């Protein structure tokens, strides 16, 4: 760019072969980005919908002619009275007038710009006129939802459940993945196939006996059935970690072994520090997995509302949507806010980790 401006018109011939390419490249970039924005808009539309609905009063949803954005009817106040504003059709378009008294075929109106002209009569059915609205987000839905649901307790429960379960999963899965990656174990390949096969295992196939077992142990109605199994590793996260561990050169742990390090020291001082991206990925995946869990808490915590995580705690709000859309939407916003914030805070590290995994493979 700067070079062209310096050399001026004389360089027109050498740049002309480069310029169309540049233009094409810019157009391609704009085209791809435009497509991306369109697809993204479709994807994020539901989020925009729930945010906007949560800020609207339910009465607005049922009013014909009300805008989609949170709004209230605009009024004109005159001598202590509030008069609604309408766009009244006149010969040259429309005029914004305040309605003093509506009748069927004509109405008494005032011009807010010239109130000194007083009340005058306008012909036409006021019901066909477009009411004027002003932007007015309303937080009433949030205060209603907050007073109806104990969000503090639900958040705390979900946070503890997801946190403890993630610690257990990391602990167990790192050990198991390490075992699968670095040690000669008889029948290792068959064991690994079995491990991977358990990804396919539907939870329904085991939940009745587990319920009976946990009931016998007196664990139902507590968090134990949700937390204890996390400390015994799961196939998905072991697989992810193993794939990453395999990409770490063996020479490093062999060197450490010659220096007399035992396998646990090698794991802690060589493998784990190099597996940061994979560990971060597993942490986030598992945290959100537990945060999302609905089926297991529903089955094992049956009735114990004080122990409910947020997923089960607000389940009833799905069906009340048609009656109280605003409050349901506010509940949904409150529920998704924390995962979204955590995701935004951790995403840089997370995306980077995924990219590193991909490039270094």
Partner 1 sequence: MSSTDVNASRSSVLPRPRLSANARRQRRWGILFLLPWLIGFFAFQLLPILFTIFLSFTNYSGGREFKPGNFDMVGLANFQRLATDPDVLPSMGVTLKFALIGIPLGLIVPLGIALLVNSKRLIGSNVFRTLFYLPSVIPVVAGSIIFGGVLNAQSGWLNLSLQAIGITNPPRWFTDPTWAGFALNLLAIWAVGNGMIILLASLQGVPTELYEAATVDGAGPIKKFFYITIPMISPVIFYNVTIGLIGAFQFFVPALLIGGINGDPQKSLLFFPMHFYRTAFPLSQMGYGSVLALVIFVVTMAATAVLFFFAQRLVYYASGELNS
Interacting residues with partner 1 between 227 and 246 (CB under 8 A): 229, 231-233, 238, 246
Q: Is 46 in the site for partner 1 (CB under 8 A)?
A: yes
Interacting residues with partner 1 between 144 and 183 (CB under 8 A): 172, 175-176, 178-183
Min dist CB 104 to partner 1, Å, is 28
Number of residues that bind partner 1 (CB under 8 A): 100
HSE, CB side, 13 Å, CA atoms: give it for residue 356: 17
Min dist CB 339 to partner 1, Å, is 4
Considering only residues 35, 139, 268, 345, which one is a binding residue for partner 1 as defined by CB under 8 A?
35
Considering only residues 5, 79, 200, 251, which one is a binding residue for partner 1 as defined by CB under 8 A?
200
Contacting residues for 149 by C-beta, under 8 A, at least 6 apart = 313, 314, 317, 331
Contacting residues for 122 by C-beta, under 8 A, at least 6 apart = 88, 97, 106, 107, 108, 109
Min dist CB 190 to partner 1, Å, is 12
Smaller CB distance to partner 1: residue 95 or 150?
150
Q: Is 223 in the site for partner 1 (CB under 8 A)?
A: no
Q: Is 347 in the site for partner 1 (CB under 8 A)?
A: yes
* Residue 165: both structure tokens together: 């379960």
Considering only residues 71, 110, 195, 270, which one is a binding residue for partner 1 as defined by CB under 8 A?
195
Smaller CB distance to partner 1: residue 100 or 176?
176
Interacting residues with partner 1 between 302 and 341 (CB under 8 A): 302, 310-312, 314-315, 317-319, 321-322, 325, 328-329, 331-333, 335-336, 339-340
Give the residue among 194, 173, 175, 290 at the shortest CA–CA distance from 236. Answer: 173
Smaller CB distance to partner 1: residue 17 or 204?
204
Considering only residues 90, 201, 217, 255, which one is a binding residue for partner 1 as defined by CB under 8 A?
201
Min dist CB 336 to partner 1, Å, is 4
Give the residue among 350, 346, 353, 343 at the shortest CA–CA distance from 274. Answer: 353
* Residue 303: both structure tokens together: 């009735």
* Residue 290: both structure tokens together: 């537990």
Considering only residues 33, 81, 130, 305, which one is a binding residue for partner 1 as defined by CB under 8 A?
33
Min dist CB 299 to partner 1, Å, is 6
Interacting residues with partner 1 between 249 and 308 (CB under 8 A): 263, 285, 288, 291-292, 294-295, 299, 302
Strands 133-135, 71-73: parallel, antiparallel or unpaired by DSSP? antiparallel
Smaller CB distance to partner 1: residue 112 or 179?
179
Interface pattern 108-147 for partner 1 (x via CB under 8 A): ----------------------------------------
Interacting residues with partner 1 between 53 and 92 (CB under 8 A): 53, 61, 68
């Amino acid at each position: 760019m700067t070079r062209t401006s310096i050399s001026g018109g004389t360089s027109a011939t050498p740049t002309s072969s480069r310029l169309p390419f540049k233009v094409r490249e810019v157009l391609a970039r704009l085209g791809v980005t435009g497509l991306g924005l369109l697809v993204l808009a479709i994807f994020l539309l539901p989020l925009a919908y729930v945010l906007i609905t949560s800020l609207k009063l339910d009465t607005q949803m049922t009013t014909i002619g009300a805008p989609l954005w949170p709004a209230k009817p605009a009024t004109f106040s005159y001598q202590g009275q509030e008069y609604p504003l309408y766009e009244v059709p006149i010969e040259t378009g429309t005029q914004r007038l305040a309605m003093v008294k509506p009748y069927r075929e004509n109405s008494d109106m005032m011009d807010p710009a010239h109130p000194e002209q007083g009340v005058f009569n306008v012909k036409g059915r006021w019901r066909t006129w477009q009411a004027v609205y002003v932007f007015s987000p309303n937080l009433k839905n949030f205060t209603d939802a907050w007073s109806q649901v104990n969000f503090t307790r639900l958040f705390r429960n979900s946070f503890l459940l997801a946190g403890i379960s993630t610690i257990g999963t990391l602990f167990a899965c790192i050990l198991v993945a390490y075992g699968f990656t670095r040690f000669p174990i008889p029948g290792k390949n068959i064991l690994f196939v079995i491990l991977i096969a358990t990804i396919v295992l539907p939870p329904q196939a085991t939940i009745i006996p587990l319920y009976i077992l946990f009931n016998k142990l007196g664990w139902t109605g507590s968090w134990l059935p949700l937390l204890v199994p996390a400390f015994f590793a799961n196939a998905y996260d072991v697989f992810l970690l193993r794939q990453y561990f395999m990409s770490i050169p063996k020479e490093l742990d062999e060197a450490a072994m010659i220096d007399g390090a035992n396998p646990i020291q090698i794991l802690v001082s060589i493998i784990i520090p190099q597996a940061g991206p994979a560990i971060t990925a597993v942490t986030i995946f598992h945290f959100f997995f537990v945060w999302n869990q609905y089926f297991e808490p529903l089955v094992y915590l049956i009735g114990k509302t004080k122990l409910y995580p947020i997923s089960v705690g607000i389940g009833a709000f799905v069906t009340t949507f048609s009656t109280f859309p605003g409050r349901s939407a506010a509940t949904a916003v409150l529920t998704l806010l924390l995962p979204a914030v955590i995701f935004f805070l951790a995403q840089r590290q997370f995306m980077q980790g995924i990219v590193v995994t991909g490039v270094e493979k």
